[in-house]
Structure 1
Amino acid sequence: MSKPVTVITSLQNDTVKAMAALLEKKHRDRSGVFLVEGVHLVQEAFLAGAAVEKVVYDEGRGIPAELQDHLDHSSCERIAASTAVMAKCTGTDTPPPVFGVVAKLNPEQNALYRENSLVVVLDGVRDPGNVGTIIRSADAVGADAVLLGSGCADLYNPKTVRSTMGSLFHLPIVEGDLAEFLPEAAARGIQLVGTSLQAEESCYSRDWTLPTWLLLGSESHGLSPLALATVSANVIIPMRGKSESLNVAMAATVLLYEALRQRDLNPTIIPGLQPK
């Protein structure tokens, strides 16, 4: 038996106002839910077992075929909305055909301290596109978790969510105070590796097979004094051209793939390193 569908066409509808308010962090924090935009992200939310509370689709375009089976097995609210409503509730220039309202995630903090962990720590990375891309790269290499310190772009900012391409549903993303987490990691014997243009050690000389937290700061200010005081080492990515630096998301991807190479692909290239 098909579930009932609510049709909403008015921009003054209270449900529409509540969903549009989720474009702002204070309303996401207050309600404990966030927006996922587009067929792929809604599908990823269902596949990950996230708590999808509402699915809203463009009335004129109908339910996307890719979501039909998920909806048939879900008790979430279904809303058919006008294109104007879709535009008001989403953060893109062209409204997506569907979006979801999903409960904020509850990440497993113990993932930060798994045996031989590889964790990405973001320290004041403010651009939501960079934060989302780094989460996507961390997912791609099989990192254990991502830790977002204070001053980072909000994980649930619609641009951050879009930039993850669904990866925020694939690995734990912990938000917390680095003053608490970094000393704990150091006490557990985890190496804390930062990046610096003044570093003398190449990223390709570092042993990434050890339990590692990779610390990345903002492009304008770098790592905070707290992070700088706790890092075990700083590395630099060698560059042969005239570019002064890579942006933080590109740098994260280079470093994470070097960690993957050493851990899983060809560890014998580093002198003294033994294959697993």
Structure 2
Amino acid sequence: MHTQITSHQNPKIKRLHLLKEKSRVRKKENRFFIEGKREIILAISGGYRLEQIYYCASIISKEEVLRITETSNNQIEFFEVTSDIYQKLSHRSTTEGVLGIAFSKETSLNNLDLHTNNPLILVAESPEKPGNIGALLRTADAAKVDAFLIANPKTDIYNPNIIRSSVGCVFTNKIASGTTEEIIRFLKERKINIYGAALQSSENYYTQDYNKPTAIVVGTEDKGLTDEWLKNTTQNIKIPMSGVIDSMNVSVAAGILIFEAKRQRDFVV
């Protein structure tokens, strides 16, 4: 059944606005706002349950909406909204006509199953900018790491800006979060080598062997890794740079490091 909504004052539309704008509402309801065909398809394929879909019939047909949600394993409520309502809710200028509400997943370390005895993990400490987090998620997806861990998170992982900047990779990665202490304990209990991106007591990143269980840890661009990480790494690693500054965008650095680990693993006979 597809119900039509024509008023901005409709409680469902007000709820959509709140889920889009307020992290506290997303956490309280254990749900989040999602926009775009690709993102919805990736969320479903990543095992996320959709609660509701809202679409603008002047942009996307009901048949197309049903097609992109046909693999969902739960019942979804469908609502057709006016073009005016949709434009107020959507963020993209090149919009696709569909958005919705999905159930969040638990990101506790206790629920993380690595499914391998030789994991490759990317860890980010205290990432704050949604654009950087989105780029890190894209890097993690491209390298197909076994998990993306966030230590001391500063931003809600279901922030629409993260979903958008990650181009849906928030749904393709195994994500868990915790304090720095908790994640260090998690890695050490599983005998996972910890390589921290830092200048202090560091070796060039390409001199290390990443063929064993490995976690590559990056910090913020302005402060780097905290002392707690630096005291617990297997080895600190650095990227040699020839320019004036001694730092680069965190997602670029993470990409260089994680793909060196991938390169080594791909060439193991």
Aligned to 2:224: 222
- Amino acid in the other structure paired with 1:58: C
Query: Residue 110 of structure 1: SS of its match in structure 2?
Result: coil
Aligned to 2:18: 21
2:157 to 142, 155, 158: 155
Aligned to 2:87: 87
Question: Could you tell me how far apart the structure 2 residues matched to 1:151 and 1:17 are?
Answer: 28
Contact 1:125 1:219 in 2 (8 A): no
Question: Could you tell me how far apart the structure 1 residues matched to 2:43 and 2:189 are?
Answer: 35
Please list, as runs of the form range in 1=range in 2, the aligned pairs for 1:5-154 lying within 5 A after superposition: 5-23=2-20, 24-63=22-61, 67-72=65-70, 75-92=75-92, 96-106=96-106, 108-111=111-114, 114-154=116-156
Question: Could you tell me how far apart the structure 2 residues matched to 1:64 and 1:34 are?
Answer: 22
Contact 1:135 1:168 in 2 (8 A): yes
Question: Could you tell me how far apart the structure 1 residues matched to 2:38 and 2:31 are?
Answer: 18
Measure how far apart 1:72 and its partner are: 4.7
Q: Residues 96-149 of structure 1: CA distance to partner in whole angstroms, max 9, x if unpaired?
A: 4211211112464122x8311111111111011111111121111121011112
Query: Residue 121 of structure 2: SS of its match in structure 1?
Result: strand
Which is worse superposed, 40-49 or 250-259?
40-49
Query: Residue 153 of structure 2: SS of its match in structure 1?
Result: coil
Contact 1:83 1:95 in 2 (8 A): no
Residue 260 (str. 1) matches residue 257 (str. 2):
no
1:187 to 183, 186, 189: 189
- Amino acid in the other structure paired with 2:112: Q
Cα root mean square deviation, aligned? 2.2
Measure how far apart 1:88 and its partner are: 3.2
- Amino acid in the other structure paired with 1:239: M
- Matched residues, number: 263
Contact 2:202 2:235 in 1 (8 A): no
Question: Could you tell me how far apart the structure 1 residues matched to 2:104 and 2:260 are?
Answer: 32
Contact 1:39 1:64 in 2 (8 A): no
- Amino acid in the other structure paired with 1:232: T
Aligned to 1:175: 177
1:251 to 240, 250, 253: 253
Q: Residues 167-207 of structure 1: CA distance to partner in whole angstroms, max 9, x if unpaired?
A: 22222101222212212312332111111134541111111
Q: Residues 42-92 of structure 1: CA distance to partner in whole angstroms, max 9, x if unpaired?
A: 111223332011111113223376543244565211111123322333444
Identity %: 30
- Amino acid in the other structure paired with 2:8: L
Contact 1:125 1:152 in 2 (8 A): yes
Measure how far apart 1:236 and its partner are: 0.7
Aligned to 1:206: 208
Question: Could you tell me how far apart the structure 2 residues matched to 1:244 and 1:224 are?
Answer: 17
Q: 1:261 to 1:102 in 2, by over 3 A?
A: same
Query: Residue 207 of structure 2: SS of its match in structure 1?
Result: coil
Query: Structure 2: which 5+ residue stretches go unaligned?
Result: none
Q: 1:57 to 1:119 in 2, by over 3 A?
A: same
Q: 1:46 to 1:187 in 2, by over 3 A?
A: closer
Contact 1:46 1:70 in 2 (8 A): no
